[in-house]
Amino acid sequence: MRDLAKLPKAHLHLHFTGSMRLDTLVELASATRTRLPASFIDGDPLHVPADHRGWFRFQRSYDTARALVRSEEIMRRLVLEAALDDAAEGSRRLEIQVDPTSYAPYVGGLTPALEIILDAAQQATLLSGVEVAVVVAASRIRHPLDARTLARLAVRHAGEGPGQVVGFGLSNDERAGDTSSWAAAFAIARRAGLASLPHGGELLGPEHVRAVVSALAPTRLGHGVRLSEDPALLDQVVEAGISLEVCPASNVCLGVYHEPGDVPLGVLRAHGAQVALGADDPLLFHSRLVDQYEIARGQGLDDAALAELARGSIRASLATEGSKRRWLAEVDAWLAAPQTEGEAEAARG
Ligand SMILES: [Zn+2]
């Protein structure tokens, strides 16, 4: 079995605050004398039922962490640490998701908040070797007009490279709000060439995926795992070229599936879905990028199948074709390399 941390891959589903290292959280909390909820320090990942109360508990923990991010310095630190951690896990490309709204009050507004993130992403790219691009995400618990404001801000920084905005997302409780009310914001983003990257098909099933697909025309779906419950719809999504950002540990922690083995990777793959594994919120789920590939390995995927997952993540990324070609060749090299010292010996003759 080859080292999954060395498998080249792209990380397409990671939230800015949720990427925070636990050590950083503890340090920020002690500096501000903030009491952290036990769930952060008891060493166990968050585990909640897949209902409104469960989501509320998740959101409360997330908000505690987010409230500690109150300066440009901390924002820059988070982006850099996320990139360095990704680099250590073989990631070549990180598309990090951020809603600048929460940090705007501490840095002089929405525009500076996004500009700080983008500049930090560019610097982190140089320091980590991972291309860090940004997805601006609106929140379902805010007014759809706020989403339009965010979309207009996002398009001013549209591009495909490091430190640029590559897509527009919609996060928070999938059950909140009416999906079609965000169509206008996504239309603004898409017209400017941004990819449409909304969450859908995790807490709600196929019916909601249908609504997301028709109202927001996604390039990729954040999660989409519940498509396994409707094979015909899954086929349509695959046919439409929509990739899935699958986050197995997140699904289990949020009560969508019981065990990592229940996450329907097999069904999605059998239907030809292009899957990019992601960690979502490692701070809360205590599970990083490589852990998601370990979960896939635990479901019986061999190294060739894991390499194919990594290729899927690279193809589903919004990087340039040149970058993708380079990383895909690196995946081939990972798979072609000898697995053991014995094989290496034999290869050397
Ligand atoms: Zn997410």
Please give the model's pTM, rounded to 2 decimal places.
Answer: 0.95
Structural domains of the chain sorted by starting position, each given as residue range(s) with its CATH number in brackets: 4-336 (3.20.20.140)
Q: How many residues are given for the chain?
A: 349
pLDDT digits (tens, 9 = 90+) for 30-72: 999 988 888 787 777 878 887 888 788 888 888 999 999 999 9
Check pLDDT > 70 for residue 252: yes
pLDDT value of position 275: 97
Is 202 among the residues known to form the active site? yes
Q: Report the percentage of the chain scoring pLDDT > 90.
A: 83
Ligand 1 centre from 281 Cα, in Å? 7
Residue 61: predicted pLDDT? 86
79-119 pLDDT, tens digit each:
999 999 999 999 999 999 999 999 999 999 999 999 999 99
Measured distance CA(323)–CA(326) in Å, rounded = 5
Q: How far is the CA of 251 from the centre of ligand 1 (A)?
A: 10
Out of 115, 160, 202, 294, the active site residue is 202
How large is the angle between the packed helices 206-216 and 231-239, nearest 10 degrees?
20
- Burial zone of 285 (CB within 10 Å; 0-12 exposed, 13-18 middle, 19+ buried): buried
Cα 347 to ligand 1 centre (Å): 43
**Residue appearing with tokens 């859908």:** 200
Given this model, what pLDDT does residue 159 score? 93
Cα(249) to centroid of ligand 1, in Å? 11
- Residue in 162, 157, 102 with CA at minimum distance from that of residue 127: 162
pLDDT confidence of residue 349? 64
The pLDDT value recorded for residue 59 is 86
Between these two residues, 324 and 47, which has the higher pLDDT value? Answer: 324
